[in-house]
With several copies, the nearest count.
Chain A
Protein backbone atom coordinates (compact mmCIF):
# COMPACT_ATOMS: atom_id res chain seq x y z
CA UNK A 1 0.00 0.00 0.00
CA UNK A 2 1.37 3.43 -0.97
CA UNK A 3 2.05 5.93 1.73
CA UNK A 4 3.29 9.48 1.87
CA UNK A 5 6.25 10.77 3.81
CA UNK A 6 3.92 12.58 6.19
CA UNK A 7 2.09 9.34 6.89
CA UNK A 8 5.38 7.58 7.58
CA UNK A 9 6.49 10.29 9.97
CA UNK A 10 3.15 10.34 11.74
CA UNK A 11 3.07 6.59 12.25
CA UNK A 12 6.65 6.44 13.53
CA UNK A 13 5.78 8.97 16.21
CA UNK A 14 2.51 7.24 17.03
CA UNK A 15 4.26 3.92 17.65
CA UNK A 16 6.31 5.58 20.39
CA UNK A 17 3.21 6.50 22.39
CA UNK A 18 2.16 4.08 25.13
CA UNK A 19 -1.14 3.29 26.71
CA UNK A 20 -0.30 5.14 29.92
CA UNK A 21 0.93 8.29 28.22
CA UNK A 22 -0.63 11.71 28.38
CA UNK A 23 0.26 13.23 25.03
CA UNK A 24 1.00 16.92 24.79
CA UNK A 25 0.12 18.05 21.26
CA UNK A 26 0.87 21.01 19.12
CA UNK A 27 -0.88 21.61 15.82
CA UNK A 28 -0.38 19.83 12.52
CA UNK A 29 1.51 16.58 12.36
CA UNK A 30 2.05 16.37 16.12
CA UNK A 31 -1.69 16.40 16.73
CA UNK A 32 -2.13 13.82 14.01
CA UNK A 33 0.49 11.56 15.61
CA UNK A 34 -1.34 11.72 18.93
CA UNK A 35 -4.64 10.92 17.25
CA UNK A 36 -3.03 8.06 15.34
CA UNK A 37 -1.63 6.52 18.52
CA UNK A 38 -5.02 6.71 20.17
CA UNK A 39 -6.73 5.12 17.20
CA UNK A 40 -4.08 2.47 16.50
CA UNK A 41 -1.75 1.35 19.25
CA UNK A 42 -2.48 3.22 22.50
CA UNK A 43 -6.24 3.54 22.89
CA UNK A 44 -6.00 4.60 26.54
CA UNK A 45 -3.45 7.34 25.89
CA UNK A 46 -4.80 10.79 26.61
CA UNK A 47 -4.61 13.75 24.26
CA UNK A 48 -3.87 16.99 25.95
CA UNK A 49 -3.44 20.58 24.75
CA UNK A 50 -1.62 23.45 26.40
CA UNK A 51 -4.77 25.54 26.09
CA UNK A 52 -6.32 23.48 28.88
CA UNK A 53 -8.24 20.80 26.96
CA UNK A 54 -7.74 17.30 28.32
CA UNK A 55 -8.88 14.14 26.59
CA UNK A 56 -10.69 15.92 23.74
CA UNK A 57 -12.99 13.98 21.44
CA UNK A 58 -11.47 15.04 18.12
CA UNK A 59 -14.19 14.50 15.56
CA UNK A 60 -12.45 16.93 13.24
CA UNK A 61 -8.84 17.97 13.10
CA UNK A 62 -8.14 21.24 14.96
CA UNK A 63 -6.12 23.81 13.00
CA UNK A 64 -4.68 25.35 16.15
CA UNK A 65 -4.47 24.23 19.77
CA UNK A 66 -6.94 27.00 20.50
CA UNK A 67 -9.42 25.63 17.94
CA UNK A 68 -12.91 25.03 19.37
CA UNK A 69 -12.56 21.44 18.12
CA UNK A 70 -10.30 20.67 21.11
CA UNK A 71 -13.08 21.71 23.53
CA UNK A 72 -15.62 19.09 22.54
CA UNK A 73 -16.30 16.31 25.06
CA UNK A 74 -13.15 16.83 27.05
CA UNK A 75 -12.67 15.44 30.54
CA UNK A 76 -12.16 19.01 31.66
CA UNK A 77 -12.03 22.40 29.96
CA UNK A 78 -9.54 24.42 31.92
CA UNK A 79 -6.98 26.99 30.92
CA UNK A 80 -3.24 27.36 30.41
CA UNK A 81 -2.58 27.27 34.14
CA UNK A 82 -4.16 23.85 34.43
CA UNK A 83 -2.33 22.30 31.53
CA UNK A 84 1.16 23.48 32.40
CA UNK A 85 0.66 22.73 36.08
CA UNK A 86 -0.28 19.16 35.14
CA UNK A 87 3.02 18.91 33.23
CA UNK A 88 5.11 20.38 36.06
CA UNK A 89 3.20 18.31 38.64
CA UNK A 90 5.46 15.57 40.07
CA UNK A 91 2.78 12.89 39.70
CA UNK A 92 0.91 13.58 36.46
CA UNK A 93 3.83 15.29 34.73
CA UNK A 94 5.90 12.13 34.73
CA UNK A 95 3.32 10.55 32.39
CA UNK A 96 3.40 13.28 29.79
CA UNK A 97 5.07 12.82 26.44
CA UNK A 98 5.57 16.02 24.44
CA UNK A 99 5.56 16.34 20.68
CA UNK A 100 7.44 19.40 19.47
CA UNK A 101 8.79 21.03 16.34
CA UNK A 102 11.37 23.75 15.75
CA UNK A 103 13.32 25.80 13.23
CA UNK A 104 16.70 24.60 14.49
CA UNK A 105 18.00 21.72 16.58
CA UNK A 106 21.49 20.97 17.91
CA UNK A 107 23.10 17.64 18.70
CA UNK A 108 21.82 17.68 22.28
CA UNK A 109 18.24 18.12 21.18
CA UNK A 110 17.95 21.77 22.18
CA UNK A 111 15.47 23.65 20.01
CA UNK A 112 15.16 27.09 18.48
CA UNK A 113 11.75 28.35 17.49
CA UNK A 114 12.42 32.04 18.07
CA UNK A 115 14.87 33.69 15.64
CA UNK A 116 17.46 33.12 12.93
CA UNK A 117 20.23 35.67 13.35
CA UNK A 118 20.74 38.00 16.27
CA UNK A 119 17.91 38.15 18.78
CA UNK A 120 17.76 41.94 18.56
CA UNK A 121 18.14 42.15 14.76
CA UNK A 122 16.81 38.86 13.49
CA UNK A 123 17.04 37.78 9.87
CA UNK A 124 13.98 35.65 10.42
CA UNK A 125 11.61 35.89 13.31
CA UNK A 126 9.50 32.84 14.21
CA UNK A 127 6.50 32.49 16.48
CA UNK A 128 8.51 31.99 19.66
CA UNK A 129 8.27 29.40 22.40
CA UNK A 130 4.56 29.19 23.00
CA UNK A 131 4.34 26.23 25.35
CA UNK A 132 7.34 24.56 23.73
CA UNK A 133 9.90 25.69 26.29
CA UNK A 134 7.53 24.73 29.10
CA UNK A 135 6.97 21.23 27.78
CA UNK A 136 10.65 20.69 27.02
CA UNK A 137 11.49 21.88 30.54
CA UNK A 138 8.96 19.74 32.38
CA UNK A 139 8.29 16.39 30.76
CA UNK A 140 10.33 13.19 30.86
CA UNK A 141 10.02 12.28 27.17
CA UNK A 142 9.52 14.26 24.00
CA UNK A 143 9.39 13.58 20.28
CA UNK A 144 10.61 16.23 17.87
CA UNK A 145 9.48 16.69 14.29
CA UNK A 146 11.95 18.46 11.96
CA UNK A 147 12.54 19.10 8.29
CA UNK A 148 15.89 17.57 7.45
CA UNK A 149 17.92 20.50 6.20
CA UNK A 150 21.51 21.55 6.82
CA UNK A 151 20.53 24.93 8.22
CA UNK A 152 18.18 23.26 10.69
CA UNK A 153 20.54 20.69 12.22
CA UNK A 154 23.17 23.11 13.44
CA UNK A 155 26.23 23.14 15.63
CA UNK A 156 25.08 26.23 17.44
CA UNK A 157 21.51 27.43 17.80
CA UNK A 158 20.86 31.08 17.12
CA UNK A 159 18.55 31.03 20.16
CA UNK A 160 17.91 28.21 22.63
CA UNK A 161 14.13 28.31 23.02
CA UNK A 162 13.42 24.84 24.43
CA UNK A 163 15.96 22.88 26.45
CA UNK A 164 16.90 19.36 25.40
CA UNK A 165 19.99 17.91 27.11
CA UNK A 166 21.62 21.40 27.19
CA UNK A 167 25.34 20.50 26.96
CA UNK A 168 25.00 16.74 27.28
CA UNK A 169 24.94 14.23 30.12
CA UNK A 170 24.03 15.96 33.38
CA UNK A 171 23.25 19.20 31.56
CA UNK A 172 19.62 19.34 32.62
CA UNK A 173 20.42 18.63 36.26
CA UNK A 174 23.08 21.34 36.26
CA UNK A 175 20.61 23.81 34.80
CA UNK A 176 18.07 22.87 37.46
CA UNK A 177 15.64 21.03 35.19
CA UNK A 178 13.82 17.81 36.05
CA UNK A 179 14.90 14.58 34.33
CA UNK A 180 13.72 14.45 30.77
CA UNK A 181 14.65 15.40 27.26
CA UNK A 182 13.90 14.31 23.71
CA UNK A 183 13.75 10.62 22.96
CA UNK A 184 13.77 10.96 19.18
CA UNK A 185 13.80 13.33 16.23
CA UNK A 186 11.63 12.39 13.26
CA UNK A 187 12.39 14.07 9.92
CA UNK A 188 11.45 13.69 6.30
CA UNK A 189 14.49 11.42 5.85
CA UNK A 190 15.27 9.63 9.04
CA UNK A 191 14.92 9.08 12.77
CA UNK A 192 17.54 10.20 15.26
CA UNK A 193 17.76 9.13 18.89
CA UNK A 194 20.04 10.18 21.74
CA UNK A 195 22.90 8.17 23.18
CA UNK A 196 22.24 7.13 26.76
CA UNK A 197 25.71 8.04 27.94
CA UNK A 198 26.60 11.17 26.02
CA UNK A 199 23.07 12.40 25.25
CA UNK A 200 24.30 13.14 21.74
CA UNK A 201 22.09 12.60 18.75
CA UNK A 202 22.75 9.54 16.56
CA UNK A 203 21.10 8.24 13.45
CA UNK A 204 18.90 5.34 14.47
CA UNK A 205 16.74 4.80 11.39
CA UNK A 206 16.41 5.78 7.76
CA UNK A 207 13.36 5.46 5.56
CA UNK A 208 13.40 2.91 2.73
CA UNK A 209 15.50 4.28 -0.13
CA UNK A 210 17.37 6.84 1.98
CA UNK A 211 21.07 6.32 2.63
CA UNK A 212 22.79 7.41 5.85
CA UNK A 213 25.11 9.51 3.69
CA UNK A 214 22.21 11.46 2.29
CA UNK A 215 21.03 12.13 5.83
CA UNK A 216 24.45 13.39 6.85
CA UNK A 217 24.60 15.67 3.82
CA UNK A 218 21.54 17.40 5.15
CA UNK A 219 22.97 18.17 8.58
CA UNK A 220 25.57 20.64 9.74
CA UNK A 221 26.19 18.52 12.82
CA UNK A 222 27.96 15.17 12.60
CA UNK A 223 26.15 12.21 14.06
CA UNK A 224 27.07 8.59 14.61
CA UNK A 225 25.52 6.40 11.90
CA UNK A 226 26.84 3.06 13.12
CA UNK A 227 23.55 2.05 14.75
CA UNK A 228 21.26 2.84 11.85
CA UNK A 229 18.45 0.50 10.75
CA UNK A 230 15.73 0.84 8.16
CA UNK A 231 12.46 2.09 9.60
CA UNK A 232 9.43 -0.12 9.14
CA UNK A 233 6.88 1.57 6.86
CA UNK A 234 3.28 2.05 8.01
CA UNK A 235 1.20 -1.09 7.76
CA UNK A 236 -2.05 -1.29 5.86
CA UNK A 237 -3.99 -1.17 9.10
CA UNK A 238 -2.04 1.80 10.39
CA UNK A 239 -2.61 3.70 7.17
CA UNK A 240 -6.28 2.89 7.02
CA UNK A 241 -6.94 4.01 10.60
CA UNK A 242 -4.81 7.10 10.10
CA UNK A 243 -6.64 8.15 6.97
CA UNK A 244 -10.15 7.26 8.08
CA UNK A 245 -10.11 8.13 11.75
CA UNK A 246 -7.62 10.94 12.05
CA UNK A 247 -7.75 13.19 9.00
CA UNK A 248 -10.67 12.22 6.83
CA UNK A 249 -10.94 15.86 5.75
CA UNK A 250 -7.33 15.70 4.50
CA UNK A 251 -6.31 18.91 6.18
CA UNK A 252 -2.79 17.76 7.01
CA UNK A 253 -2.08 14.52 5.13
Chain B
Protein backbone atom coordinates (compact mmCIF):
# COMPACT_ATOMS: atom_id res chain seq x y z
CA UNK B 1 0.00 0.00 0.00
CA UNK B 2 0.83 3.63 -0.29
CA UNK B 3 -1.25 6.79 -0.51
CA UNK B 4 0.41 8.32 -3.57
CA UNK B 5 -1.77 10.16 -6.03
CA UNK B 6 -0.21 8.48 -9.05
CA UNK B 7 0.86 4.85 -9.00
CA UNK B 8 0.95 4.29 -12.73
CA UNK B 9 3.99 2.38 -13.93
CA UNK B 10 4.98 -0.21 -16.52
CA UNK B 11 4.60 -3.93 -16.01
CA UNK B 12 8.30 -4.82 -16.22
CA UNK B 13 9.08 -2.38 -13.41
CA UNK B 14 6.15 -3.43 -11.25
CA UNK B 15 6.97 -7.14 -11.51
CA UNK B 16 10.70 -6.71 -10.91
CA UNK B 17 10.05 -4.35 -8.00
CA UNK B 18 7.55 -6.49 -6.09
CA UNK B 19 7.77 -10.11 -7.28
CA UNK B 20 11.03 -11.36 -5.77
CA UNK B 21 12.34 -14.92 -6.18
CA UNK B 22 10.79 -17.15 -3.51
CA UNK B 23 8.14 -14.66 -2.53
CA UNK B 24 4.55 -15.56 -1.66
CA UNK B 25 2.22 -14.68 -4.49
CA UNK B 26 -1.51 -14.80 -5.22
CA UNK B 27 -3.29 -14.08 -8.48
CA UNK B 28 -6.88 -13.06 -9.12
CA UNK B 29 -9.46 -14.44 -11.51
CA UNK B 30 -11.11 -17.84 -11.79
CA UNK B 31 -10.32 -20.74 -14.19
CA UNK B 32 -10.56 -19.02 -17.59
CA UNK B 33 -11.74 -15.59 -16.52
CA UNK B 34 -9.93 -12.41 -15.54
CA UNK B 35 -6.62 -14.09 -14.73
CA UNK B 36 -3.86 -11.42 -14.70
CA UNK B 37 -2.22 -13.07 -17.70
CA UNK B 38 -0.04 -10.17 -18.83
CA UNK B 39 1.49 -10.11 -15.36
CA UNK B 40 1.79 -13.92 -15.29
CA UNK B 41 3.63 -13.91 -18.64
CA UNK B 42 5.91 -11.13 -17.43
CA UNK B 43 6.87 -13.15 -14.34
CA UNK B 44 7.71 -16.09 -16.62
CA UNK B 45 9.61 -13.81 -18.98
CA UNK B 46 11.66 -12.43 -16.09
CA UNK B 47 12.40 -16.04 -15.01
CA UNK B 48 11.48 -15.38 -11.40
CA UNK B 49 11.84 -18.70 -9.60
CA UNK B 50 10.86 -20.47 -6.43
CA UNK B 51 7.55 -18.70 -5.92
CA UNK B 52 5.08 -19.88 -3.30
CA UNK B 53 1.67 -19.53 -4.93
CA UNK B 54 -1.74 -19.26 -3.24
CA UNK B 55 -4.68 -20.09 -5.48
CA UNK B 56 -8.32 -21.01 -5.16
CA UNK B 57 -9.37 -21.92 -8.73
CA UNK B 58 -7.21 -19.56 -10.76
CA UNK B 59 -6.85 -22.07 -13.61
CA UNK B 60 -4.94 -20.80 -16.62
CA UNK B 61 -2.69 -18.43 -14.70
CA UNK B 62 -1.64 -21.14 -12.26
CA UNK B 63 -0.87 -23.62 -15.03
CA UNK B 64 1.22 -21.17 -17.00
CA UNK B 65 3.24 -20.15 -13.94
CA UNK B 66 3.93 -23.80 -13.16
CA UNK B 67 4.75 -24.56 -16.78
CA UNK B 68 6.99 -21.50 -16.84
CA UNK B 69 9.08 -23.02 -14.01
CA UNK B 70 8.32 -20.19 -11.58
CA UNK B 71 6.58 -22.17 -8.83
CA UNK B 72 8.20 -24.16 -6.02
CA UNK B 73 5.16 -24.68 -3.82
CA UNK B 74 1.45 -24.23 -4.15
CA UNK B 75 -1.56 -23.99 -1.86
CA UNK B 76 -4.61 -24.58 -3.96
CA UNK B 77 -8.24 -25.66 -4.08
CA UNK B 78 -8.69 -26.46 -7.76
CA UNK B 79 -6.48 -26.59 -10.79
CA UNK B 80 -8.70 -26.76 -13.85
CA UNK B 81 -9.57 -24.65 -16.87
CA UNK B 82 -13.14 -25.71 -17.50
CA UNK B 83 -13.74 -27.64 -20.68
CA UNK B 84 -10.22 -26.88 -21.93
CA UNK B 85 -8.45 -28.82 -19.19
CA UNK B 86 -10.51 -30.55 -16.52
CA UNK B 87 -7.22 -30.81 -14.63
CA UNK B 88 -4.60 -28.19 -15.51
CA UNK B 89 -2.01 -29.99 -17.58
CA UNK B 90 1.35 -28.64 -16.44
CA UNK B 91 0.06 -28.69 -12.86
CA UNK B 92 -0.86 -32.38 -13.15
CA UNK B 93 2.52 -33.21 -14.62
CA UNK B 94 4.48 -31.20 -12.07
CA UNK B 95 2.66 -32.79 -9.12
CA UNK B 96 2.97 -36.31 -10.51
CA UNK B 97 6.66 -35.76 -11.22
CA UNK B 98 7.14 -34.09 -7.83
CA UNK B 99 8.54 -30.92 -9.32
CA UNK B 100 6.38 -28.82 -7.03
CA UNK B 101 5.02 -29.23 -3.55
CA UNK B 102 1.26 -28.94 -3.31
CA UNK B 103 -1.20 -28.63 -0.44
CA UNK B 104 -4.97 -28.95 -0.90
CA UNK B 105 -7.79 -26.84 0.49
CA UNK B 106 -11.34 -26.17 -0.66
CA UNK B 107 -12.35 -23.06 -2.58
CA UNK B 108 -14.20 -21.65 0.39
CA UNK B 109 -11.27 -22.32 2.69
CA UNK B 110 -8.84 -20.52 0.40
CA UNK B 111 -11.27 -17.60 0.13
CA UNK B 112 -11.67 -17.47 3.92
CA UNK B 113 -7.90 -17.50 4.30
CA UNK B 114 -7.59 -14.44 2.10
CA UNK B 115 -10.50 -12.83 3.95
CA UNK B 116 -8.80 -13.48 7.29
CA UNK B 117 -5.65 -11.85 5.92
CA UNK B 118 -7.67 -8.88 4.72
CA UNK B 119 -9.41 -8.58 8.10
CA UNK B 120 -6.17 -8.77 10.06
CA UNK B 121 -7.15 -11.84 12.07
CA UNK B 122 -5.17 -15.08 12.28
CA UNK B 123 -7.95 -17.48 11.24
CA UNK B 124 -11.57 -17.95 10.25
CA UNK B 125 -13.93 -20.83 11.01
CA UNK B 126 -16.04 -22.98 8.69
CA UNK B 127 -17.77 -26.35 8.78
CA UNK B 128 -16.36 -27.29 5.39
CA UNK B 129 -14.11 -30.36 5.14
CA UNK B 130 -14.95 -31.94 8.51
CA UNK B 131 -14.37 -35.67 8.13
CA UNK B 132 -12.33 -35.26 4.93
CA UNK B 133 -8.71 -35.84 3.97
CA UNK B 134 -8.29 -32.11 3.46
CA UNK B 135 -7.94 -32.09 7.24
CA UNK B 136 -5.84 -35.25 7.54
CA UNK B 137 -3.42 -34.88 4.64
CA UNK B 138 -0.90 -32.07 4.78
CA UNK B 139 1.08 -31.20 1.69
CA UNK B 140 3.80 -29.46 3.69
CA UNK B 141 5.43 -31.28 6.58
CA UNK B 142 5.70 -29.86 10.06
CA UNK B 143 9.44 -29.50 9.50
CA UNK B 144 9.00 -27.54 6.29
CA UNK B 145 6.40 -25.33 7.95
CA UNK B 146 8.70 -24.52 10.84
CA UNK B 147 11.58 -23.83 8.48
CA UNK B 148 9.52 -21.49 6.27
CA UNK B 149 8.92 -18.09 7.83
CA UNK B 150 5.78 -17.30 5.84
CA UNK B 151 3.90 -20.49 6.78
CA UNK B 152 1.88 -21.23 9.92
CA UNK B 153 2.89 -24.30 11.93
CA UNK B 154 -0.41 -26.02 11.19
CA UNK B 155 -2.31 -26.50 7.95
CA UNK B 156 -5.64 -26.12 9.75
CA UNK B 157 -7.23 -27.22 12.99
CA UNK B 158 -10.50 -28.70 14.15
CA UNK B 159 -11.87 -27.16 17.32
CA UNK B 160 -14.96 -27.36 19.45
CA UNK B 161 -17.47 -24.55 19.14
CA UNK B 162 -16.50 -22.17 21.98
CA UNK B 163 -20.21 -21.34 22.33
CA UNK B 164 -21.31 -24.93 23.04
CA UNK B 165 -23.85 -25.90 20.40
CA UNK B 166 -24.77 -22.36 19.40
CA UNK B 167 -25.99 -22.38 15.78
CA UNK B 168 -26.40 -26.18 16.04
CA UNK B 169 -22.67 -26.47 15.54
CA UNK B 170 -20.43 -28.69 17.64
CA UNK B 171 -17.14 -28.36 15.75
CA UNK B 172 -15.50 -26.07 13.27
CA UNK B 173 -12.42 -26.14 11.12
CA UNK B 174 -10.26 -23.06 11.55
CA UNK B 175 -8.10 -22.06 8.57
CA UNK B 176 -5.09 -19.77 8.93
CA UNK B 177 -4.92 -16.31 7.34
CA UNK B 178 -2.88 -15.63 4.22
CA UNK B 179 -1.08 -12.33 3.68
CA UNK B 180 0.66 -12.76 0.32
CA UNK B 181 3.74 -10.67 -0.33
CA UNK B 182 2.14 -9.71 -3.64
CA UNK B 183 -1.29 -10.06 -5.19
CA UNK B 184 -1.77 -9.56 -8.94
CA UNK B 185 -5.22 -8.75 -10.26
CA UNK B 186 -6.62 -7.67 -13.59
CA UNK B 187 -9.66 -5.40 -13.53
CA UNK B 188 -11.82 -3.58 -16.03
CA UNK B 189 -11.13 -0.08 -14.71
CA UNK B 190 -8.67 1.47 -12.30
CA UNK B 191 -7.64 5.06 -11.67
CA UNK B 192 -4.13 6.45 -11.24
CA UNK B 193 -4.27 6.03 -7.47
CA UNK B 194 -5.44 2.42 -7.71
CA UNK B 195 -9.17 2.54 -7.03
CA UNK B 196 -10.59 -0.52 -8.83
CA UNK B 197 -13.90 -1.21 -10.48
CA UNK B 198 -14.54 -4.84 -11.38
CA UNK B 199 -17.46 -5.71 -13.63
CA UNK B 200 -19.29 -9.00 -13.26
CA UNK B 201 -18.22 -11.50 -10.64
CA UNK B 202 -15.43 -10.46 -8.31
CA UNK B 203 -14.42 -14.09 -7.51
CA UNK B 204 -12.02 -13.67 -4.55
CA UNK B 205 -10.10 -10.74 -6.03
CA UNK B 206 -11.24 -8.26 -3.42
CA UNK B 207 -10.09 -10.43 -0.51
CA UNK B 208 -6.83 -11.33 -2.26
CA UNK B 209 -6.13 -7.66 -2.94
CA UNK B 210 -6.83 -6.51 0.60
CA UNK B 211 -4.84 -9.37 2.17
CA UNK B 212 -1.66 -8.55 0.24
CA UNK B 213 1.37 -6.69 1.44
CA UNK B 214 1.70 -5.33 -2.10
CA UNK B 215 -0.98 -5.09 -4.76
CA UNK B 216 -0.27 -4.83 -8.49
CA UNK B 217 -3.23 -3.92 -10.65
CA UNK B 218 -3.42 -4.29 -14.41
CA UNK B 219 -6.48 -2.81 -16.09
CA UNK B 220 -8.33 -2.52 -19.38
CA UNK B 221 -8.95 1.18 -18.86
CA UNK B 222 -7.03 3.62 -16.74
CA UNK B 223 -9.02 6.59 -15.49
CA UNK B 224 -7.77 10.05 -14.65
CA UNK B 225 -8.34 11.57 -11.25
CA UNK B 226 -11.97 11.57 -10.20
CA UNK B 227 -13.67 9.47 -12.85
CA UNK B 228 -14.19 6.48 -10.59
CA UNK B 229 -15.10 8.65 -7.59
CA UNK B 230 -18.35 9.39 -9.36
CA UNK B 231 -20.63 6.42 -8.74
CA UNK B 232 -18.13 4.94 -6.28
CA UNK B 233 -20.66 2.35 -5.11
CA UNK B 234 -19.21 0.30 -7.96
CA UNK B 235 -15.59 0.40 -6.71
CA UNK B 236 -14.72 -2.73 -4.80
CA UNK B 237 -11.08 -2.05 -3.98
CA UNK B 238 -10.07 1.38 -2.70
CA UNK B 239 -6.65 2.83 -3.54
CA UNK B 240 -5.26 2.46 -0.02
CA UNK B 241 -4.40 -1.16 -0.86
CA UNK B 242 -2.67 -0.47 -4.18
CA UNK B 243 1.05 -0.20 -4.98
CA UNK B 244 1.17 -0.17 -8.78
CA UNK B 245 -1.32 0.40 -11.59
CA UNK B 246 -0.56 -0.62 -15.16
CA UNK B 247 -2.71 0.01 -18.19
CA UNK B 248 -2.79 -3.16 -20.31
CA UNK B 249 -5.67 -3.64 -22.72
CA UNK B 250 -6.33 -7.38 -23.16
CA UNK B 251 -4.32 -7.90 -19.98
CA UNK B 252 -6.36 -11.02 -19.11
CA UNK B 253 -5.98 -12.55 -22.59
CA UNK B 254 -6.30 -15.48 -23.36
CA UNK B 255 -8.75 -15.63 -20.41
CA UNK B 256 -11.93 -13.57 -20.48
CA UNK B 257 -12.67 -10.10 -19.19
CA UNK B 258 -16.41 -9.55 -18.74
CA UNK B 259 -17.85 -6.77 -20.91
CA UNK B 260 -14.50 -6.42 -22.76
CA UNK B 261 -13.67 -9.76 -24.36
CA UNK B 262 -14.25 -13.48 -24.06
CA UNK B 263 -11.70 -16.21 -23.50
CA UNK B 264 -9.99 -17.32 -26.71
CA UNK B 265 -11.08 -20.94 -27.20
CA UNK B 266 -8.50 -21.50 -29.92
CA UNK B 267 -5.62 -20.27 -27.77
CA UNK B 268 -6.75 -22.34 -24.80
CA UNK B 269 -7.19 -25.46 -26.95
CA UNK B 270 -3.82 -24.98 -28.63
CA UNK B 271 -2.24 -24.38 -25.24
CA UNK B 272 -3.75 -27.59 -23.85
CA UNK B 273 -2.42 -29.56 -26.79
CA UNK B 274 1.08 -28.10 -26.47
CA UNK B 275 1.11 -28.38 -22.67
CA UNK B 276 0.49 -32.09 -23.04
CA UNK B 277 3.89 -32.62 -24.61
CA UNK B 278 7.15 -31.43 -23.06
CA UNK B 279 8.82 -30.59 -26.36
CA UNK B 280 5.78 -28.75 -27.69
CA UNK B 281 5.42 -26.93 -24.38
CA UNK B 282 9.05 -25.85 -24.60
CA UNK B 283 8.29 -24.41 -28.01
CA UNK B 284 5.20 -22.74 -26.60
CA UNK B 285 7.25 -21.01 -23.89
CA UNK B 286 9.75 -19.84 -26.48
CA UNK B 287 7.26 -18.65 -29.09
CA UNK B 288 4.52 -17.19 -26.93
CA UNK B 289 6.42 -15.86 -23.91
CA UNK B 290 10.22 -15.67 -23.93
CA UNK B 291 10.45 -14.78 -27.61
CA UNK B 292 8.19 -11.78 -27.13
CA UNK B 293 9.00 -8.44 -25.51
CA UNK B 294 5.74 -7.95 -23.75
CA UNK B 295 1.99 -8.59 -23.80
CA UNK B 296 1.62 -6.33 -26.80
CA UNK B 297 3.87 -8.78 -28.60
CA UNK B 298 1.49 -11.62 -27.82
CA UNK B 299 -1.49 -9.63 -29.04
CA UNK B 300 0.33 -8.89 -32.29
CA UNK B 301 1.29 -12.54 -32.70
CA UNK B 302 -2.31 -13.58 -32.24
CA UNK B 303 -3.48 -10.81 -34.51
CA UNK B 304 -6.31 -8.31 -34.60
CA UNK B 305 -8.60 -10.66 -36.47
CA UNK B 306 -8.55 -13.28 -33.71
CA UNK B 307 -9.06 -10.63 -31.07
CA UNK B 308 -12.07 -9.33 -32.97
CA UNK B 309 -13.77 -12.73 -32.75
CA UNK B 310 -13.69 -12.63 -28.96
CA UNK B 311 -14.86 -9.04 -28.58
CA UNK B 312 -17.67 -8.83 -26.03
CA UNK B 313 -21.22 -8.25 -27.15
CA UNK B 314 -22.29 -5.00 -25.41
CA UNK B 315 -25.57 -6.59 -24.35
CA UNK B 316 -24.32 -9.87 -22.87
CA UNK B 317 -20.75 -9.03 -21.93
CA UNK B 318 -19.32 -12.07 -23.75
CA UNK B 319 -18.79 -12.98 -27.43
CA UNK B 320 -22.16 -14.38 -28.46
CA UNK B 321 -22.04 -17.32 -30.82
CA UNK B 322 -18.30 -17.62 -30.56
CA UNK B 323 -17.05 -20.93 -31.95
CA UNK B 324 -16.14 -22.73 -28.74
CA UNK B 325 -16.09 -26.37 -29.84
A and B touch in the complex (CB under 8 A): yes
- A: which residues have CB within 8 A of B? 19-20, 22, 27-28, 44-46, 50-55, 57, 59-60, 62-81, 84-93, 95, 114, 119-134, 137-138, 157, 159-163, 166, 171-172, 174-178, 249, 251
B-side interface mostly: loop
Q: Pick the contact of B87: A127, A129, A159 (CB < 8 A).
A: A127
Given known pairs A52-B202, A76-B195, A86-B240, the reply for A91 and B256 (CB within 8 Å) is no
A51 neighbours in B (Cβ, 8 Å) = 30, 201, 203
Contact between chains at A19 and B79 (CB < 8 Å):
no
Q: Chain B, 76-99, contact with A by CB distance < 8 Å: what is the 0/1 string?
A: 111111111011100110011010
The answer to whether B205 and A176 touch across the interface, beta carbons within 8 angstroms, is no
CB contacts (< 8 Å) of A80 on chain B: these are 56, 107-108, 111, 203-204
Contacts of A251 in B (CB 8 A): 83, 324-325
Q: Which residues, 111 to 165 on B, are CB-close (under 8 Å) to A? A: 111-112, 115, 118-121, 126-134, 137, 139, 158
Q: Decide: B106 and A68 in contact? CB cutoff 8 A.
A: no
> Which A residues are in CB contact (< 8 Å) with B32?
63-64, 66-67
Instruction: Give the distance in Å from the alpha carbon of A120 to the alpha carbon of B136 in the complex.
Output: 13
Q: Please name the residue on chain B nearest to A160 by beta carbon.
A: B133
Closest chain A CB from B169 CB (angstroms)? 7
Query: Bound complex: CA of A138 vs CA of B168, how far in Å?
Result: 13
A221 nearest CB across to chain B (Å): 19
User: Residue B238 at the A interface, CB < 8 A?
Assistant: yes
Q: List 10 A-B contacts (CB under 8 A).
A: A64-B81, A67-B31, A76-B237, A80-B108, A81-B111, A89-B118, A125-B96, A128-B79, A176-B130, A176-B171
* Complex interface: chain B residues within 8 A of A74 (CB): 229, 232
What is the chain A residue whose CB lies nearest that of B228? A75
The answer on a CB contact under 8 Å between B104 and A129 is yes
B318 at the interface (CB under 8 A from A): yes
B235 partner residues in chain A, CB cutoff 8 A: 75-77
Nearest B-chain residue to A83, judged by Cβ: B108
Expressed in whole angstroms, the Cα–Cα distance for A119 and B101 within the complex equals 11
Task: Tell me the complex Cα distance, A122–B80, Å.
Answer: 17
Q: How far is the CA of A172 from the CA of B203 in the complex (A)?
A: 29
With A and B bound together, what is the CA distance between A45 and B240 in angstroms? 11
Q: Which residues on A sit within 8 Å (CB–CB) of B79? A: 127-128
Contact A65 B111 (CB under 8 A): no
Query: Chain A interface mostly helix, strand, loop or mixed?
Result: loop
Please tell me if the beta carbons of B324 and A137 are within 8 angstroms of each other in the complex: no
CB A103 to nearest CB in B, in angstroms, measures 10
Stretch at the interface among B1-9, B17-25, B281-289: B1-9
> In the bound complex, do residue A76 and residue B238 qualify as a contact, i.e. CB atoms below 8 Å apart?
yes
Choose one: A46, A89, A163; the contact of B132 (CB below 8 Å): A163
**A132 with B3: in contact, given A78-B202, A127-B80 (CB under 8 Å)?**
no
- Asked whether, in the complex, the Cβ of B201 is within 8 Å of the Cβ of A52, the reply is yes
Extra pairs beyond A65-B82, A84-B107 (19, CB < 8 Å): A62-B82, A63-B32, A67-B32, A67-B33, A68-B262, A71-B201, A76-B232, A79-B111, A81-B204, A88-B126, A91-B179, A92-B241, A128-B79, A129-B107, A131-B57, A131-B77, A134-B126, A178-B168, A249-B324
Which chain B residues lie closer than 8 Å to A77 at the CB level?
Answer: 200-202, 232-233, 235
Chain A residues with CB under 8 Å of B41's CB are none
B105 interface residue (CB < 8 Å to A): yes
A84 close to B111 (CB less than 8 A): yes
* Nearest residue, chain B, Cβ from A54: B238
Partner of B316, one of A72, A84, A92, A157: A72
CA separation between A214 and B284, bound complex, in Å? 45
Whether the Cβ atoms of B108 and A63 lie closer than 8 Å is no
Interchain CB contact under 8 A, A125 and B119:
no
A55 partner residues in chain B, CB cutoff 8 A = 229, 238-239
Instruction: Say if the beta carbon of B13 comes within 8 Å of chain A.
Output: no
Chain B residue nearest to A157 in the complex (CB): B133
Min distance, Cβ B34 to any Cβ of chain A, angstroms: 8
